[in-house]
Structure formats: C-alpha cells, structure tokens
Amino acid sequence: MKDDTPQSGRHLVERFLRRFPASTDAYRALACHAALPFVLTPELLNYLRCEFLADRTEWVAEADLLLSDLCEEIGYEQFAIKLDARAWLLAEMKQDPRLGPARMEQVARRLLAWVGHAQRNDSRFRPAETQALRWGAMVYLKERREEAVREMAAALKAAPGIEGRVVAGEDFARGERLRISEVIRNLAHQLEAYPELVEYAEATTRLLTRGRREASSGAAFSKPISVAGVELPALAPTSNPAFPLVPFEFHTVTLDERGKEIERRTLTARQFVEELAPGVSLDMVEIPGGAFLMGSPESEEGRMDREGPQHEVTVPPFFIGKFTITQAQWRVVAGWEKVEIDLKPAPSNFKGDDRPVENVSWFDVKEFCARLSKKTERQYRLPSEAEWEYACRAGTTTPFAFGKTITPEIVNYDGNYPYAKAKKGKYREETIVVGSLGVANAFGLYDMHGNVWEWCEDAFVDNYEGVPVDGSARLSEGGSSRVLRGGSYFNSAVVCRAALRGRDDARNRYHYRGVRVVVSARTL
C-alpha cells in the first residue's frame, strides 16, 4: 500500500479525512466499515453505523461519506467506494488493533443478514448485485468461505464458454463471465487459499478484454482445473482475433428549457476495447441500427436552411468512439508506419494526454484512420454525417441529446450564449479532458455536443436534397469542403445542436477541430 499518487487509494482516503480534522478517527472507522460491501445505499450505511459506530459518529457522517469524492454513484441511491480506496481501507481495517479481522467478520455477518432482507424487499438491487454482496460477505467468514468459492466457481462455469468468435447473442454471456471474474479478482485478498480461482479469473479477464494474442501469452489453464469441487474448463483462445463486447454503465440526463435536470438515468451499453499501446486504449461503443428523422424542424430555434429538409434515414449497426480521439491516442498512431502522409505526433494547441486532439485537418484524420486500420486489421474510418447525427441524438428528437437545452455543467461550450431559457454559465475558453463532465447521451457517448468539432466523411453541400437515405456518406459533390459536427468549447449553445452542420476546407486546421472514429459492424 505504498502508492501515493494523486489518484491512489491512500490519497483519496486522506483527502476525505482532512475535511474532518476534529473527527478523523470516527470518519476513518466509518469508511472502513463501509468499504466491505460492494454496493452501498443510505439504508445500508445507516445500518452499519448504528450497529457498530453509533456512539462515535452522528448520522450526518453518512451523507458526508456518500457524497464525497471517495464514493461514486452507480445507480439510483446506490453508491460504491472507489476500488483503490476500498482496497486501502480494508487493509487499514485489517491492521487496526481496535478493529482487525474480528470486526471484519462481524460486519460480514451483519451484511449477510441485510442482503437477505434486500433480496426479499428491495427492488433496487438486481440479482447480480445481491449475489456479489453475498460473496463479498461470505469470504470474510471461515465457515462460509469455501461455500462462496464453490458458488463463484459454479457461476463462472455456468456462463457459456469463451471459445470461438463472438456472434450475436453471445456478447451478454461474455459480459456476465467478465462480471463474475472481476468480483473474484476484487476479493483476491480474502482468497489466498484459492490462488487457482483468482488466477483463472485473471486469465478470463485478459482473454475477454485484451484479445487472443495477449491472453495466449499468459498460457494459463490449457487444461481444466478443479476448485472447491467445481471443474472449470480450459481457457482455449480461438484462432481468430477475440472480439468481446463488454457491458459498461453510464449516466445520462434530461434537461428542461431552463436547464433544470428533470431526469437522471443509469444505463448500460456495450463496447469493445482496442489496445493501442500499454495504458492507451480506444473504447468503441456498439450503436444499434435503426431509422431516424435527420435534420431539424423549421420550428427549431436557431435552425439554418442547411439543416433541411428533414428526411428519414435508415442506419445499419456500427461502432463509434466513446470519446473523441485523445492526444495520447493520436501520438501512438502517429508513430506507426505512414500510409500516405506524415502526421505530427503532438499537433494540439491545448496540451494534455486525455484532452481531445485538435489542430488536425480532414486529410490528417483520414491518414490516422488508415494507419489504425492497417495496424489493427479493422476498417476504421470517419463517420458519415448521418451516422454522426444518429449517434448524437441517441433516439431523441430535441435540439440536444439532453433535451431542450444544455448547460456548461454537462457540455463544454461558451456559456455566455445559452439556448432556450437557460441561464448564462461558465466559458472555459479551452478544451477539457474527454468525458470529464461525467454525462453521456443515451447511447453511452460523451462530448457529442461541444468541446471540439468532429470531422465527418461527407463532402459539404447546402442542403439535404438528393442525399443517401441508407446512412452512407455523400462524396460526389462539395469540392474540397467537408462536414463538421457537434460544435466546440469556442461556440455558443445554438451551434452545438444535434442538427447543426458545420463546414470547412479539408486542408484547414484549427484548435477546436478534432475527430471520432467509426467501424462498420459488418466488417468485424
């Protein structure tokens, strides 16, 4: 537990405790008790505090903990202590002479009783969550530990095998197997007597998230193994590149015309992860095919003639970047073998590995896609204008994916120029880290509005007369002008609407122009 980087568990815990100098010990004890469950609710935290710490902490400490940077909201009134902080707190609790393993067992017994009640009476918990909570409590009890191991191994075995290429219908099963593997890995500190199970879970995770070649390098479990009487099958990678679709959760919101949040939802989407270099990966989100009305109605505030006429477009399934391409991703790909033109490894005006790359032309981003395709053997490309708008809207028909307006709290734009009846807000005057505002659209895509404009494949023409209705790009007209979408930190809210169409010469570079890449589902 020596890691003291700004995002380490130790740093997160100590930053939280500094807020309460007069009650540090009490707050530390509460955080330690709260770290044992995988999922927290206000009721569960209140239960643990009343059972163990009522004489040391007041009820307000519960809210202080749940609403702090130590926790993250994972569902409606559901929270989780961040993994690094959780590991640090559990290690602290185990070594604390006033708490130690005996107190951890007591907390585990109370947690098991509470989980049983939640299974019967609390519809907020899904079966997978109560299952993980049970296992997370049982491994702290000597008499229940092997039972938990047996259940985990059986659940892992019951998920369909990971041999063969993923096809429709198998990706959820793979996600379930990955979920179980991750639970086991997070309980590794209590499973020292069952190293084969932990290693098997780690090998499963590698195979499902990093592909055949890297998983094969581990060369683990080429034969079946037995854990607590459960025989787990061999992990045999296929001769084809692995293509797992992994579920992920995200938050999305809906705003009224004044910018007030009227709904917040936690949704799930699926993605595959392309490893570009150690520590640098590209998340590609699955977008289901469908039909939508492209363009804006004549009644939409700020509408331009180039946004019409509205027309129905049918878009095949595809994958698109969860975020715009970052500077770290660009630098990696720019170092790969040239296809047609040179690329600057660091072209951006606003520096930062996790900020979007900018100052790139349409020709630059075409070269980026060509290098990415050659290296990965997947056909990466720019989105068509229709694909971009379909992905941005994510099933909505309002000016923005978030409803009738936007605010600087969820989109990076010039807040001095709001939309509809929203109030003026912050103007950051620069790009920000991708996804850092924490809210995605209903497809799980971040920053589709604002931050940087995004190049599309299409040549620009003045309206939608005669455009393709199959989701493909229009390239036969428009000369050297290419389409840009989404607006940027530099623009007013009206420019960031889902339907607005920007344009520029394909050769131009500016500090508010970036890119998001696409892969057609049929090419995978």
| pLDDT at site 400 | 98
Beta bridge partners of 484: 455, 502
> What per-residue confidence (pLDDT) applies to 462?
92
Q: Residue 160's pLDDT is what?
A: 55
* Cβ count near 296 (within 10 Å): 24
Q: Measure CA 197 to chain center.
A: 27
Q: What is the pLDDT of residues 52-84, one digit of tens each?
A: 998 888 889 999 999 988 888 776 677 888 878
According to the model, what pLDDT value does residue 169 have? Answer: 37
Six-digit token pair at 91?
């290690």
Tell me the residue ranges of DSSP E strands in 153-260. Answer: 225-227, 230-232, 246-255
| Positions in the chain whose pLDDT score sits under 70 | 1-8, 75-76, 121-125, 159-175, 208-222, 236-243, 477-478, 523-524
Q: Are 272 and 284 contacting, i.e. CB atoms less than 8 angstroms apart?
A: yes
* Number of other CB atoms surrounding residue 103 within 10 Å: 18
Tokens at 44, concatenated? 């569960």
- Tally of CA atoms within 13 A in the half-sphere of 170 that contains its CB: 12
Q: Say if residue 309 is preceded by a cis peptide, omega within 30 of 0.
A: yes
What does the pLDDT read at residue 183? Answer: 86
Supply the mean pLDDT for the chain.
Answer: 87
Residue 497 near residue 302 (C-beta atoms within 8 A): yes
* Burial of 29 per CB tally in 10 Å (0-12, 13-18, 19+): buried
